Structure 1
């Protein structure tokens, strides 16, 4: 069985995709995002899956995407922001090199505007983001081997901090 060399978790706006690509580039490995896998499987954007099929259907697709990626991807993997809500997913992450990219609301807003098509943030996005973080922060921390604060750092600086936190600098 293969396993990812790095798994990134965190809320919307944490920079999982941008940092994940940067980390993959530094390590010379492939990058994969389970949100992209869900979109490919569903044949439509995540926002449309939420509207057309409901959140439970999306979460089932997400669970399957995460399990498949953890089983067959040996590069850098980014998980959707809510993937850690599933106990089975958290169990699969046990012992893996998971990094929680921590981000403030201010930085998340600056990065993605919170007006992007993010279904769970559609109504009162700032308040909803805070609620999601209050709910998810303990779970991100639970699965993470390391926490990297993204405040006032470029994607390249965060990528370097991820490698340092996992002691992969000389990899």
Structure 2
């Protein structure tokens, strides 16, 4: 059963934020709640490359990864309304950010560094976190990226509360934003 908000959504909803903020998990639940398709840009990159997103990043470097990510995101936002989870760095690209600003509703999932460190520590799939102190690296990324993420249309705090609470917060913010 689609949410009453769904018929007012005329563009993709794109989740942005640091790794571990919950973009994929919350995105899946949000899409289900709204009766919309869900897509994860990292999975699309992996599908196109025949490698995991982390393997693409490691094998070809960050610049090549970001180029592929930019092309994938541009393709995804040109399709019907859906929920899209992006990689943590996608929104940092000026061209991608401009495209998302014009063609989508961007939702920044803002999570405290301690929460991000705990969540990302569960699996070793993040190339940027393999070297050094996880929490320190995340704090540096947060400080550098926060001014860019603040440009998203909506900001939702994603801390230790249940993902369902975050989904409801997004729905409420979307209702306000679209009215």
Matched, 1:154 2:162: yes
Superposition map of 1:10-29 within 5 A: 10-29=17-36
* CA spacing shift, 1:21–1:115, aligned 2, 3 Å: closer
The aligned counterpart of 1:86 is 93
What is the distance in 2 between the residues matched to 1:133 and 1:62?
20
What is the distance in 1 between the residues matched to 2:168 and 2:52?
31
* Structure 1: tracts of 5 or more residues without a match: none
What is the TM-score normalised by the length of structure 1? 0.90
Matched, 1:126 2:132: no
Superposition map of 1:62-141 within 5 A: 62-95=69-102, 96-113=104-121, 116-124=124-132, 125-141=134-150
Q: Given that residues 116 and 138 in structure 2 are in contact (C-alpha distance below 8 angstroms), is that contact kept between their aligned partners in structure 1? A: no
The aligned counterpart of 1:42 is 49
* CA spacing shift, 1:152–1:115, aligned 2, 3 Å: closer
Deviation at 1:140, TM superposition (A): 0.9
Question: Among 48, 54, 57, which residue is 2:64 paired with?
Answer: 57
* Structure 2: tracts of 5 or more residues without a match: 1-9
What is the distance in 1 between the residues matched to 2:76 and 2:126?
22
The aligned counterpart of 2:172 is 164
Q: Given that residues 98 and 146 in structure 1 are in contact (C-alpha distance below 8 angstroms), is that contact kept between their aligned partners in structure 2? A: yes
RMSD of the alignment, in Å? Answer: 1.5
Deviation at 1:80, TM superposition (A): 0.6
What is the TM-score normalised by the length of structure 2? 0.87
SS in 2 for 1:147: strand
Paired positions, count: 165
Q: Given that residues 114 and 126 in structure 1 are in contact (C-alpha distance below 8 angstroms), is that contact kept between their aligned partners in structure 2? A: no
Q: Given that residues 84 and 136 in structure 1 are in contact (C-alpha distance below 8 angstroms), is that contact kept between their aligned partners in structure 2? A: no
Q: Given that residues 108 and 114 in structure 1 are in contact (C-alpha distance below 8 angstroms), is that contact kept between their aligned partners in structure 2? A: no
SS in 1 for 2:21: coil
SS in 2 for 1:44: coil
